[in-house]
Amino acid sequence: MSAFIDRWKTALQHYWQRRRSLQKAWRQHRYIALDLETSGLDPRSDQILAMGWVVIEPPIIDYQQAHYFVTQAQPDLKQSPVVHGLVQRDFVDATPPEQALERLATMLEGAVLVCHHVQFDWKFLQQLAKQHQIKLQPLAKFDTLTYEAARLRQQQHHIARGSLTLAACRERFGLPNYEAHHAYSDAVACGELFLAQAYQYAGSSSASLQELLAKAK
């Protein structure tokens, strides 16, 4: 009974800490913009081939805290040479996936995970975390794709096929084109898009993180 009460108290304390954090202005938080390159679409049978991320402390993208890892010594490339441009020689100095994930877990503590289609990336990360018994506990998750879809619907725009790709979303904000399908450059591109979206919605106001997250649902 004592152990149960301790766990309950810890969970309740975590809940209230998170609730208070979400009420802080969105610019007071740290964000991790992340992208994955995978061998396919199913986290149960496909691999994370590479991951890249950058740290954002609005209005700054901190490139000194950026990381890029290839994560498979013996990758199952499937269509990756076509889609991502990755070939066997790219994996000679691969970082063990658990090592890359442990580094990411540390970065995510107290931070908001930002992805373009966060559900896809999160499922792969959770599958890998489960395999290596690593906890990933971001404060929250922000999806730049979902935000843009909601913004277009609110403005009564027709959402055509291909209009929600990372490149298409960036183009509407006047952001430059980057090389697509590379985990690092896509993480940077996603981070820049997030800042454009956040500043368009909240500008330099004291809008809370919770308000900003509500726009990406």
Q: How far apart are CA 35 and CA 179, in angstroms?
A: 13
Average pLDDT value over all residues in the chain: 86
Asked whether the predicted pLDDT for residue 184 surpasses 50, the reply is: yes
d(CA 25, CA 35): 25
For 11, 82, 144, 185, 198, the CA distances from 169, given in Å and listed in that order, are: 38, 23, 9, 15, 13
Per the listing, tokens 């199913």 go with 42
What structural domains does the chain harbor? Answer: 25-214 (3.30.420.10)
Nearest Cα to 112, choosing from 57, 151, 189?
57
Average pLDDT over residues 22-49: 92
What pLDDT digit, counting tens, does each position of 56-86 carry? 999 999 999 999 888 765 666 565 544 455 5
User: Between residues 181 and 22, which one has the greater pLDDT?
Assistant: 22
Q: How would residue 14 be classed by pLDDT, with cut points 50, 70 and 90?
A: confident
In sequence order, what DSSP letters do the residues of 21-74 get, joined into one string? Answer: HHHSBGGGS-EEEEEEEESSS-TTT--EEEEEEEEEETTEEEEEEEEEEE--SS
The per-residue pLDDT for 82 is 40
| Across 8-17, 31-40, 54-63, 124-133, least confident range | 8-17
Q: Is the pLDDT of residue 167 over 50?
A: yes
Q: Is the pLDDT of residue 92 over 80?
A: no
Amino acid letter, residue 4: F
Taking 70 as the threshold, does the pLDDT of residue 156 lie above it? yes
According to DSSP, the residues that pair with 180 across neighbouring strands are none
The per-residue pLDDT for range 192-210, each reduced to its tens digit, is 999 999 999 887 678 999 9
* DSSP assigned state of 203: T
Q: For strands 31-38 and 48-57, give the pairing.
A: antiparallel
Q: Which pLDDT tens digit goes with each residue over 108-131?
A: 999 999 999 999 999 999 999 999
The Cα–Cα gap between 53 and 108 comes to: 11
**Amino acid of residue 92:** V
Of residues 49 and 75, more confidently modeled: 49
Sign of the torsion formed by the C-alpha atoms of 155, 191, 213 and 203: negative
Type and span of the H or E element at 137:
none
Q: Taking residues 22-34, what's their average pLDDT?
A: 96
What's the pTM value of the predicted model, to 2 decimals? 0.89
Q: Which of residues 6 and 130 earns the better pLDDT score?
A: 130
Q: What is the pLDDT of residue 47?
A: 87
Alpha-carbon dihedral angle through residues 135, 140, 146, 150, given to the nearest 10 degrees? 160
**176-206 as b/e: b if 16+ CB within 10 A:** eeeeeebbbebbbbbbbbbbbbbbebbeeee
Distance CA 155, CA 150 (A): 9
Mean pLDDT value across residues 40-51: 90
